[in-house]
Amino acid sequence: GAVVSQHPSWVICKSGTSVKIECRSLDFQATTMFWYRQFPKQSLMLMATSNEGSKATYEQGVEKDKFLINHASLTLSTLTVTSAHPEDSSFYICSATEGNIQYFGAGTRLSVL
């Protein structure tokens, strides 16, 4: 299957700082990538759909100015959590679509102190 790389896998930061998470499709081109957030023992929550060369589409309730998404190439999307606060601590997972199948990155565990 297709491979999606996500980096970093774990990040700890101070409150008020920004964190960038990268998602790369390694062996295919992905015009569409997705960003999810998952709290412990809860289901995946779609945050936004990232489209190469255009603005991301955010789900209701997700602050676009806080979660900045850039999809500058067919193999890379980035999510920047700006001015992170402890309530932003979560497991962030990206996925990329090949055909109509979503392949997930390994996830990034963010801890905001």
Partner 1 sequence: QKEVEQNSGPLSVPEGAIASLNCTYSDRGSQSFFWYRQYSGKSPELIMFIYSNGDKEDGRFTAQLNKASQYVSLLIRDSQPSDSATYLCAATTGGFKTIFGAGTRLFVKA
Strands (E) across 16-100 are located at: 19-25, 32-38, 45-51, 57-58, 67-73, 76-81, 90-98
Q: Which is nearer to partner 1, 60 or 86 (CB)?
A: 60
* Structural tokens at position 106: 């390994």
Q: By CB under 8 A, tell whether 100 contacts partner 1.
A: yes
Q: Whole-number minimum distance, CB 86 to partner 1, in Å? A: 19
Q: Which is nearer to partner 1, 84 or 93 (CB)?
A: 93
Query: How does DSSP classify residue 59?
Result: P
- The site string for partner 1 over 5-24 (x = CB under 8 A, - otherwise) reads -x------------------
Q: Which is nearer to partner 1, 13 or 45 (CB)?
A: 45
How many CA atoms does the CB half-sphere of 14 hold within 13 Å?
2
Size of residue set near partner 1 by CB under 8 A: 18
Beta-sheet strand order (sheet of 67-73): 4-7, 19-25, 76-81, 67-73
- Give residues in contact with partner 1 (CB under 8 A): 1, 6, 32, 43-44, 46, 49, 91, 93, 97, 100-107
